Structure formats: structure tokens, C-alpha cells
Structure 1
Amino acid sequence: MSRRWRGLTWDHPRGYAALQAAADQTGLIDWHIHSLEGFESAPIAQLCEQYDLIVLDHPHLGEALAQGCLQPLDALLPLGSLDMIERNSIGLTHASYRMNGHQWALPLDAATQVMALRPDLLVQAGHAVPEQWQDVLTLSRQTGRVALSLAGPHAFLTLLSMCAALDPALALGDGKRWHQPHVLRQACEWLITLATLSPMSVREANPIALLHHMTTHEDVLLCPLVYGYVNYTCVQDGTPLVFQNAPRVDANPPGSILGGTGIAISQRCQVDTALIDHLLWLLGENAQTRFIPRHAGQPSHVAGWNDPAVNAASNDFYRSTADTLRAASLRPRHNGFIATQTRASLFLRDGLLRGASSAELADGLNTLCAPHNTISERVTSD
């Protein structure tokens, strides 16, 4: 039987396995996949011309709204359903997809940058799990086996998470604020120190490749900031990883930049009750605590993060990182931010390669990213 809708997600089991399994049960959706790099940077309008359902990240919303390529979900879903999903969603996962007075995606999956580690290697090295950023820096200096996630947009996202640890009260999500110079310089100093000592083997690895490398090699014992993938807590080959909250500064909450994914409906989609019922089932407690975790997914529902069986199957992945997710910050979502994110990450990698100072990096980021230097169409959040 021909399936009625075409969907696009990303090519990791966390991104596609549960969606495909659910679609196989209903026969409704034909899911296609593209790379993590495509998920992070592909032009959203082009994708919406080809697919009815798009799995996306919240920074793409400004571009999507400027292009008018998504349908507002509050006009499609039954009264009260969005309120229920918001009440049940962890952290800002649901709020991250609300802009201009409308909800544009449902929080299918929750993730943020957390700490990934090999406890066995830490024990061998005679170190405890670091909780503070100063402890991470000490571990890096003493072992040379602390890695950073710097590929693609992740150099900039790592830097933003360090800034969030230093200045957790600053919210960047509306695109109108930017970090103070002393915060940027401190974060850039940390970035330079850790990048200089980071193992060469993972310098160009995206988060998926980095985490896989950690399960099969012993030159990386810890990464302080990498998007959490529950899949690497249980691996067929290699050593499973443990995930903990991101590092803190003193008594501040752990600093992290929200990731995860939402499922959006393009303008080309002919929506009916069967599709809406399927999406609401995916976001419901039963699917989020049972079906999605059993099919390599990572739930957004608080019940999934608190569920004893879900945690037992993942070495407490959810309980051990929930504080970070609850405190995670939003990225700016104005039209043009994806390009800014790309430029800023390239600038940081080039600066690290040529040995730029923290002042040079901070000044360059201020030029690239401060709101008064950004010419782009902005949208409002609520």
C-alpha cells in the first residue's frame, strides 16, 4: 500500500528508528533520512517543498517562518492538546518551537550538551568525575585525554555552553542579547586550553563519530560538552559510555545549549485526523516511555526521563543529565542565525588552528554575533 505522507529525519537510530517502526505499524508515513550535517544546516524551505513532515531543530524556525513553509500546529491540533504536551515536556523543549504566537513543531526528542565519559579510564587515570569547569581543565592538563566537540556548528555551540555556565541568567533565544566581553574572553580561554590538549584523533569528529570513538578507543576518557545520545550507553562492540550533567561554575546550574528535535508539518502537507492522531500518539506518555525508548529514541516527555525502567536500560542516562536539560538555554532563532552559527564555528576553528588569543576570538565573535552587528529578519518569541 502506498503511504500517504513523506517525512524527513536524520540518519542516526535516535533520529529514525522509532519513527520508522511507528510508521510501519500504521502504513501512513514514508520516512526518508539525511545526514546530521544536513539536519543542522540544510535550507528548510527546500526540504519543505519535498516533504510533508520535517524533523528539525529550533534554530531553523526563523528561516522557516521567513519562508512561510510550515503550518502552525495550534490551528491543526485539538483544543488543549498543545497545553498538555507543554506540561509534559522537559525543560524548554516545547517552548523552543513556539514563535510569533504559534506552535510550529512538536518536541519529539529531547537532548542537550552533557558530559560523556569512560568511568573505567577515569579510574585507571586516578581521577574522579569532574563537576566544575576548573576540574575539567585540570583533568585535561594532567591527562591530555579530554576531547572537545568542534566539528560543524559544534565549536560555536560548545563556546556558547561555556558562556551559559558563566552567565546562566542571560537568555539568547530572542536574538536581542549577547554575552558581556569578560564572559566571552573567559569562555574563549577555556576553549583554547582544552582544544590545544584535545586528542588529534577526534578533532574533526561530529558528536556521533566522537561518541562512537570513545566506545572503541582509549585516547579519550571524557568530553565535557557533547549532545547526549542514549544509544552509546549500551553498545554491541566496545565499552558503553556514561553521561553526566555538564560542568558548572561554582553553584551555577550546568551550562548547556538545547538541542533535540521537533516534528513540523510543511505547507504542502494535506493534514487529516489520521496524521494528527499519529503525531499525538508519538508525543503521548505511552509512546514516550515505552515505544520510543525501545526503538533507540530519546523521549521529550518528563515521564520518560523519570521512568525507572527507561533509566535502568540506559545506566541512568536520563536521571544523570536531567538537571542540565532543565537548565539548557535556547539559541537565537531569527532568520539568518544558522548562517551566523556556521560562520562563528568556522571562525573559532580557524582561530584555534592559528593560535589566536582569547581576546582575538572574543572580539571576532562579538563582531559576528552581537545583535547590533547582525543584519537579518527577526521574529518574536512568546
Structure 2
Amino acid sequence: MSSLVAEDHDPLRPQERHAHLYTELLRTVRELGLLKRRRGYYFVRIGLVLTAFAAVWVGVGLLGNSWLQLLMAGAFALVLTQVAFLSHDSAHRQIFDSAHWNDWTARLLAGGLVGISAAWWRSKHSRHHGAPNQLGKDPDLDIGVIAFTPEQAGRRKGFQAWLTGRQGWLFFPLLTLEGLSLYVASLQHLFRRGASTVERIEAAIVLSRIAGYLTVLLLVLPIGKAGAFLGLQLAIFGICLGGSFAPNHKGMPLVPKTLRLDFLRRQVLMSRNIRGGVFTDFAMGGLNYQIEHHLFPSMPRPTLRKVQPIVREYCELHGVKYTEVGLFTSYRIVVDYLNNVGLRARDPFQCPLMGQFRA
């Protein structure tokens, strides 16, 4: 880490010096070979996920008309969560050197297996990475059902206001609807006016997957059990995905639309890592290393654990707050923050940390 130590007499202006910090970190990470692709890891993981996907449907066929199919619905939701994580990695171009191969792998995994548009996800997720927790720029702050600022809460009336006052406690029940929300938003994106040729191809893939899924369910199960299977699968899928993404930024500082931050601080100060071991890495798809993922979006998932000590030491060296908590602590923070939005009589941007970086 000696190469990361700042000079005692730095002639650069503050903004230049801040930009210089990330450049130095990136150079060190690149020199250590931590940005190299891990194709073997991903080939094995994709193979295992495809095997699990097929095994679920073999199980569905063997069980036939039985309420035990609800166990298969839960298993299918867990498998789809892992597929979604792989699609996310491919969309970030972590698997192949070729952008073309990464993009189509993401499309086939997301569209062909999960039934969600990779194009819609990439557009939304790229904007999030470019401005995490920044008002008017981060689409994850404009969900609609949940209010993230006192201003959003203050505009709500009637039932919406009642919901906002309890949204923290209702957060996990609301996550059961996240899976359905993803499908609706995905289809709206693909069938909007002006969709590209590639998006039309993707639309065909997504519709084929959804139609095939529903057809198989109705062939194997009566409509009541098929509906129960579908509803449970969507609910567990939403909880698994939402429970993996929510702890990473919710309850961290919100950034005014006009505030300018250098890249290192923009990504580190607004992100939260989740402490844990191999099980946490698996259950959250590597998103528990959110700080490292935001600093190096194309870094392969298994490398994030290796780069974490370097990033943490570098942040401590340069006085950049590095946040890492346990999983249940992160959920408590999220619930507390959401419950108190609209009730705290303070500007969420009025804190010593944000005061340093106002435009």
C-alpha cells in the first residue's frame, strides 16, 4: 500500500486532488491484476445454475398435481435470484472481454430464464451507478410507493400519507410485490414507442419465456394451484432481490441534485457494505461488497472480497468514511430511516460531511 500514500505537499487543487485519489487507487488495483476476468468461475456458476433450473422443472413434472409444488415454487424463486445475479454481472461486463458477448449473455439469462428485460435493467442500473442516492438522478429514489425524502412524504395525502408513516414496517411485505413490479416495468420498456431492433428481439425472448412458463404451469396444475405457485414464486423472488439491493444505499446520505462530488467519494460515501462470509456472498450475489462494486463495476464478483481490504485501508488513509455493518443491522437502519422520513424536522443534507462538498 506504500504506493497509495498521498504526497505531503500536494500542489493540486481540491477537486483535482479528489479526482487524483481514485486514479491512484485504480492504478494499484489494475497493477495487482484484480480487474482480470474470471471466466472459469462464471462458466462453473452458470452451469450449476442451469442444472438447478432444469432440476426444478424435473421436480415439477414428477410431483404433478400436488400442493407440494409450492416447495418447487420457492426453489424456483431462489434459482431465478441467482440467474438474476449472473445477468447483473454480465450486464456489467464482468464475464467476457467482449462487450457483445457480455450483452447477449445478460439478455439470454435475464430474458430467456428470468423473463425480465436486460436492456431496461441496464438503463436503470447505469443511471443508479452514475449518481447513487442523488435526487433527480438516481432512479432508485423514485420508486413511487416509498418516499425517500421529507419533500416526497409531504406531498402525499390520504392513504398514501398513512402508508408513508408506516413504510418502514411495511417494507418487507411490500418487497413481495417487487418481482411483479420488475416484470411490469420491463414489459413497459420493451413495448414503448421507439424501441430498438435489439429490444424488439429481446421482447420476443421475454414474451416466449413468460408464455412458456404459464403454459407449463397450467398443463401440470389446475388453475388454483398454478396461481398459488406463481404468486409464491413472485413473492419470494421479490424478497430475495429486494433484500439484496435495499441494504446497500437506503439510509445512507442523500445528495442534492446540484451537488458535485468526485468519483471516489460519490461511490463510497453513499454505499454500505454488508459484513458476512461465504453464505452472505452467495445469498446477496456479491452485492454485499457494494462499495467495491461501485468503484469497479466491471470487476468479477469473486475478486471483490480480495480488493476490499485495499479499498478500506485506502479510504481510512484519506479520511473517506467507509461503512460496513451486519445484515440485520442494515435492515434495522433501512426500516428506521423509512419510518422516520417525513417526521424528522431537519434537512437531510445538513450534516458536517455533506457540508464539505456543497456546490
Q: Which has the larger radius of gyration?
A: 2
Structure ranking higher in strand proportion: 1
TM over 0.5: no
Which protein is richer in helix relative to its size? 2
Q: Greater relative contact order: 1 or 2 (C-alpha under 8 angstroms, separation 6 or more)?
A: 1
What TM-score, normalized by structure 1, do the two folds share?
0.24
The TM-score, its normalising length taken from structure 2, stands at: 0.25
